[in-house]
Structure formats: structure tokens, C-alpha cells
Chains A and B, each alone.
Chain A
């Protein structure tokens, strides 16, 4: 498509982009054209300005307080932050990056979890997959960094809105405290995925989007120890207990 020679089409697409009716791949393609073509970008901007007062006329809705807390966390400047390792975003970033770097190496370890000699051999680990799905496509084995012992398995189908957490050792639960699962996107604050149910072997956590969207940029997961019910601040407040790379299989 050569838009240069078709100013009318250019105008029409710019208008439909700003209105929102240009969708899907066409929208993405048009956005690439815009990046390379200042005239086109200006046409879109003109249209956005023409239509924008309509957005300002939309009825306001107060967002929940957690949105602001999450934003503060992500810009690394919450007004009140707990001290210690959790206050240090770089720690989380590095954890995420390190985990993604290690991912390839650890893949073998995850697939063939071998008994740690000379300790008593743990039973071979089998991840049971719901029968109506071929297999989980996102998988993490979270282990204790000191002992390297796998403690939890986290999995999700790529188009599923549920994340399954399997507890390999029920003894990991601490009375009156909760284990909270976190996604570790590189360069960003950890995002809570929910609290691991203490009484169940399997916990299903609801995702805000299908796994493919929710985990597009999440190379690692971690579990922290939190007050009962989960972190009150939206960010981890207790020690990190288990971590592991989060991999997409197929």
C-alpha cells in the first residue's frame, strides 16, 4: 500500500485510526506507517484533536486506590515504602533478568528434575494437566534458592485466564501468614498474581488477561511470605522464599 500517492486514503485512514474503527492488524500496520511518515502522524494528531473533546465529556469513574499504589510502585517512588530488600526495585529487576538468563540452562533441570544426591530421592514429579487441554504452555518450578529443592509448580495454558499453582510440599505454609505469588517483569515492580491457598494442593488464580497477554514479558516468578491474606501494600513486604524462571513451551 503506497499511501504517499493517495492523500484521500491517507486522510480517511488517519480519521479511522483516531476514531478507533481501524482495528487489528490494519491498526498495527498503520501505526508503523505513522512512525515513518511525519505527514501521516500529523494527520492522525489533527484528527485526535478534533475528536478528543468527546473523551473529556465521558462521565468520570473513580478508579480504586490500588491503581495509584501500583503506579507509584512502577515508577519506583512510593511515598511510604518498607525498608530492606523489598524497597530496592533493582533487586527485583535483577532477579527477573538473572532468572531469564538462567532460563535456558534451568530448562533441562525442570524437565528432568533429578533427585539431589545424596539426599533422599524425592518422588518423580508429574505435572497433571487438565484432560481437556493438551498441556500447560507456561510453566515455572519455584525452588528454594538455598537448597534448590522445588517447592511449587505454576502453570497456565496459553489462552487460559487461570493460573494453576501446585504445592509440592504442604509444609511450606506458615500459620497466620500467606504465601503470595509475584510476576517479575524486567525493569518493573513485581505484580501480584494472588495468594497460594494453604489447604489445597492446587490453587487456581484468576488472571486479568489470557496467559499469553499476561505473561508476554514475565521471565520469572517469585513467592514471598506476607501477612495473612496477602501484602497490604500491593508490593512484596516479606522475605522472598522461592523463585524460578517462567517459561513458555510451545
Chain B
């Protein structure tokens, strides 16, 4: 995993070091805000999510285990979970899933995969995503990045719900087989 400076910052946060927390925020907030914004799609909600998540990170920094995940992975999981909870609670009609989302994930998914490949721990996942059928890959990328539910996926891919569910399920199973039973192995 290399010497990730965020590991030391999280360790300092666990000791209630406010300066370290500010450093951590400066270095990670733009990325995490990007993650939240894509899922909840409203700036004010994304700001609330980000606030809540950093409070959680501050309170739970001691729970972070270096051997298990990179700090960014751990923090991104917190943000994704919180964002998905907000989506569940917010009035679904307020959230306007428009064609823009589909535009961003081109059918061959080159954009996000290229970005993924450049990441130290993203190359294997990018490789395995490329191994999927295009439809499976697209459904998984949309679900992950944009927080689309099965029925939203079905609407936007103009396919029956059952078909989309199958793509997601088979796509995930193939990903697991490709990546190995344990992540990072």
C-alpha cells in the first residue's frame, strides 16, 4: 500500500489532533464531495452529507485499520453509504435523473475506466470491468457512481427490470471471480 500520508493523519485524528483533521479535510474533501454530489445530485444535500461524514470520520478515526483498506477507500465508503441513505429518504421525485448521467458513462465506459486505471489500486478493477459485457459494465458503473437503483437503471437503460437485475448480479459475480475471492489478493 506504500506510505500513504493520510494514514498518519487519520492516526493523529484518532488522538483528537485538530490540525491533522484540517489537513485531512484539505486533502480529501474535494474527492469526497465529488462522490457525494454524483450520488445525491443536489449541492445542498451533498454539503450536508459531507459535513456528517467528516464528523463521523473525526469520531471514528480510531476505527480505521491500515491493513484493511487505503484511507481514501475507508472514507469513500462512509460517504457512499451516507449518500445512499439520503437518497433513500429524500423525495424520489425531487431527484432528477436526467440524460446527462447516461451521457457521462458512454456505452463502452472508457472515461471512468481510464481514470480508474491510473490509480495505484484501480488497475485490477479496471481490467476486470473491461472483461464484463458492455451492458453489465454500464449497469454497474451507473449504480456505483450515480447511485441508481435497479428500477432507475431499468428506466434509463430502457430494459425490463428483471433483465437489469440479472446484468448487475452476473456482472458482480464475474467481477468477484476476476478479482479473486479476497480483495487485494
Contact = CB atoms under 8 A, between A and B. Distances in A.
A, B in one complex? yes
Contact of A50 (B50, B87, B116, B179): B179
Interface string A39-75: 0000001101111111111111111101110110011
Interface string B48-64: 10110011001000000
Contacts of B153: 21
Contacts of A63: 29-30, 33, 46-47, 50
Interface residues of A, number: 43
B34 A74 contact: no
Contact of B47 (A45, A52, A66, A210): A66
Nearest to B77: A48
Given A20-B143, A56-B76, A75 B35 contact: no
Interface in B13-38: 18, 21-22, 25, 29-31, 33-35, 37-38
Interface in B69-98: 69-70, 72-73, 76-77, 79-80, 84-85, 87-91
Nearest to B124: A53
Nearest to A51: B144
Interface stretch (A11-19, A83-91, A125-133): A11-19
Contact of A20 (B25, B69, B84): B84
A77 interface: yes
A68 B26 CA distance: 9
Interface in A25-46: 27-28, 45-46
B183 A46 contact: yes
Nearest to B146: A20
A19 B141 CA distance: 9
B168 A49 contact: no
A192 to B, nearest CB: 13
Contacts of A52: 69-70, 72-73, 76-77
Interface string A173-196: 000000000000000000000000
15 contacts: A15-B176, A20-B143, A21-B168, A24-B88, A27-B84, A27-B85, A50-B175, A52-B73, A55-B144, A57-B115, A57-B116, A58-B145, A71-B58, A209-B89, A210-B90
Interface of A: 11-12, 15-16, 19-21, 23-24, 27-28, 45-46, 48-64, 66-68, 70-71, 74-75, 77, 159, 208-210, 213
